[in-house]
Structure 1
Amino acid sequence: GARLSQEMMRNVEPYLACCQLGITMASLGLGWVGEPTVAALLRPLLLPLGISETAQHFIAFVVGFLVFSSLHIVFGEQVPKTLAIREPEPVALWIAWPLQASFILFYPLNWLLNAASSSVLRLLGVREASHLEVLTDVEIEGLVQVSAEHGEMEEAQAEYIHNLIDLGELDVADVMVHRTNMHSIDVAEPPAKVIDDILSTPYSRVPIWESEPENIVGIVHAKDLLKQLRQTGGDATRINIRALATKPWFIPDTTSLTDQLNAFLKRKLHIALVVDEYGEVQGLVTLEDILEEIVGDISDEHDVVVEGVRPQADGSVTVDGTVPIRDLNRAMRWELPDEEATTIAGLVIHEARTIPEPGQAFTFHG
């Protein structure tokens, strides 16, 4: 039953047509037997009243129509459909084989009627509708919201789906670590110092630069560094940091998060450097940054609290202007707007329409 149900779901249109044919035949059948049956039942009651034969048939028709139509609507339409909506899996298993038998039995008639209707539609220039039309993002979000409101889906699951759908509306520039907050290392430093710097960071991949911080020449993976240290017996002077680094991957700052997520998966990489239209490095984005936009903050034992955020004893929070709004919202469970600005400083300047003076106070969104 389960396998047959799955096959029906993959090829749903012929079975829906079979169901419609069955409903139509049932309606015609009820109309065919309804009036004679009701007339036979009512005749003994109507004869003593002296009602004419024509009036008896009319009364029988009206009563039969009301009774059998009501029975058909309740037991043939509303109850089965409501039951199927509320208990789809058990109902699908229960009706799979009877529906398959009906499908085979009435296949010639069903095929003939479908062919006739398709021909008429083509003559009228109307495209045939499909029961498998793809839902839009808005429709999917609406279904998810309704499911969550009625307890059929956990709130966290609904939020994941909403975040995944909204992923395409964000660019890597919205979630990247700005270059001023990037932890990068000068490749010209002594190997021992470079190794200490890399191993002392909470990051597994660190950009290295040459001549100037904006000139990123490679990415060093801590695991590769440890392997090299083991091979050299712990002698850092024998390690060539430049040769150990992998080629940096540069991406435009206008790349959508959906495209970048797919690119990460395709290339099997975890980090990319974001550049503007002039080729200047603006920051970096990681696979984790994108995943956090879907599932929220991903923390491990090496992660640090968002830098630049300092809760105060009076309940207030001191935040550096360079802190990204999205990181702050995630860490503090706030909902500060991030459409017009990326950092807290940008948000304050946007709202105040001026560059604040030291000690100046504003009230925004609160």
Structure 2
Amino acid sequence: MNDVPIGILFLALLLLILLSAFFSSSETAMMAVNRYRIRTLADQGNRSAKLVMTLLETPDKLLGTILFGNNVANIAASTLATVVGLRLFGDVGLAYAPILLVFVVLVFAEVAPKTLAAVNPERIAYPAAWVLAFLQIVLSPFVWLVKIFANGLLNLVGVSVQAQNQALSSEELRAAVNESSEKIDLSHQEMLLRILEMEKVTVEDVMIPRADMEAIDLEDDWDEIVEQLATSHHTRVPVFSGSMDNMLGIAHIRKMFYLTHMADFNRETMLSMIREPYFIPENTSVTHALTNLQEQRRRFGIVVDEYGDIKGLVTLEMILEEVVGDFTTIVPGMDDDITAETDGSYLVRGNTYLRDINRQLGWELPTDNVKTVNGLITEQLEHIPVASTCFKLGDYTVEIVQTRDTSVHVARLKRLS
């Protein structure tokens, strides 16, 4: 190389550093691309995205090609820098040339290109994929040899070299939705998060408790039944005889009310028109309950416990509200479950679900063992409380405002912090 002009050597050294920068940025970009976005673009016909997906299917071959090229460029640059240093500074250049080259390679061929690729992986990966695909073919003998030894070594230590399944878990999906807040409308983001939570929610968490169910007792006076048909705010209600555990079916209120003016409409006629009830175990997830209701073409089901006793009812609207939020019409005469007070406290009804309070107020009331405010209070006190009873629960204060029979009707809750 003594006959080669020094300018040519510097130009060759610059090209080797640029080549090293290309391989370094390509490696980072190919590993950092969003594979789900790439797959979407590939399905839409983007040729570069298709090529990137093809290369990523065999990561050992891809990395073998990149690292082979990168190491060749770095070793050649090191040799050439030594020659240049020797020609310019003699024996002193042999000591300083490698040190200077380490700094240049670290900054211009490693850190800067990899940082750029990490910030804009697709911009680097798309054009690089075509070059790497070509080099993968040209260097296939060398890459195959390296692959045999590398994979053999990994197999010896029990590491599989097969591409791993990239399916996201529910927690990873939740994190992805949270991180995409700038690209997804807030209301849509909340819906997606609710859908991810639905598998953990059972019908017991969203049902109307047995004590709050509106139902028709066929053993009541007929005039009272007609009055109930005329004043009910619901389209369908359960029908039982004597005890709610003796559930007979579901009545279509509007359809039956139109017939009450006819002389031949009576208990027997009403009984012939009701539809058999559809029962749902209390531990059924709302996703499965939704699927079952759709298959059975039902609007709601009767929730039962492990002994077959009726616990409450769940409607299709309640399940859908788990996704889209509250949308059903408020029944006249009923107060809001959660009412804000001027002192920062909240008046809540005893049958209000703790999940609803946590969701609306951003609180963290415990929901492991109980579902409602009444259940939380009785669990903590271990007896039926009386009005004006107060106690502290973690970061919250609880005051019983009103009781009814054996349960808490209204309570006041306040977050201390």
Q: TM-score range by the shorter chain?
A: 0.7 to 0.9
Percent identity reads 24
Alpha-carbon offset, residue 21 of structure 1: 2.8
| Conserved 8 A contact 2:339-2:346 | yes
**Higher mean C-alpha displacement, 7-16 vs 17-26:** 7-16
Q: What amino acid is the match of 1:209?
A: F
Matching residue of 2:354: 325
2:248 paired with 1:217 = yes
2:374 paired with 1:345 = yes
CA distance in 2, matches of 1:349, 1:334: 20
Q: What amino acid is the match of 1:132?
A: N
SS at match of 1:219: strand
Question: Of 274, 293, 297, which residue of structure 1 is paired with 2:303?
Answer: 274
1:348-363 equivalences under 5 Å are 348-362=377-391, 363=397
Matching residue of 1:79: 116
SS at match of 1:248: coil
Question: Of 233, 236, 251, which residue of structure 1 is paired with 2:280?
Answer: 251
Q: What amino acid is the match of 1:71?
A: F
| Conserved 8 A contact 1:179-1:282 | yes
**Higher mean C-alpha displacement, 184-193 vs 282-291:** 184-193
Could you report, residue by residue, the CA deviation over 1:49-72 in whole angstroms, capped at 9, with x for unpaired residues? Answer: xx33xx544433333343234322
Q: TM-score, normalised by structure 1?
A: 0.73
| Conserved 8 A contact 1:163-1:294 | yes
2:71 paired with 1:28 = yes
Alpha-carbon offset, residue 24 of structure 1: 0.6
Q: What amino acid is the match of 1:274?
A: V
CA distance in 2, matches of 1:264, 1:91: 50
Alpha-carbon offset, residue 114 of structure 1: 4.5
CA distance in 2, matches of 1:112, 1:132: 26
Question: Of 299, 321, 325, which residue of structure 1 is paired with 2:327?
Answer: 299
1:70-109 equivalences under 5 Å are 70-84=107-121, 88=122, 97-98=130-131, 100-102=133-135
| Conserved 8 A contact 1:207-1:219 | yes
Alpha-carbon offset, residue 180 of structure 1: 0.9
Alpha-carbon offset, residue 270 of structure 1: 3.5
Could you report, residue by residue, the CA deviation over 1:136-161 in whole angstroms, capped at 9, with x for unpaired residues? Answer: 4444444444554xx45555455444
Structure 1's 119 and 42: CA in aligned 2 closer, same or farther, altered over 3 A? closer
Q: Which runs of 5+ in 2 are unaligned?
A: 1-40, 392-396, 399-413
Matching residue of 2:208: 177
CA distance in 1, matches of 2:94, 2:189: 58
Q: TM-score, normalised by structure 2?
A: 0.66
SS at match of 1:284: strand
Q: Which runs of 5+ in 1 are unaligned?
A: none
2:312 paired with 1:283 = yes
Matching residue of 1:126: 159
2:289 paired with 1:260 = yes
| Conserved 8 A contact 1:184-1:207 | yes
RMSD, aligned CA: 4.2
Structure 1's 17 and 216: CA in aligned 2 closer, same or farther, altered over 3 A? same
| Conserved 8 A contact 1:251-1:275 | yes
CA distance in 1, matches of 2:102, 2:360: 65
Q: What amino acid is the match of 2:165?
A: L
Alpha-carbon offset, residue 97 of structure 1: 4.8
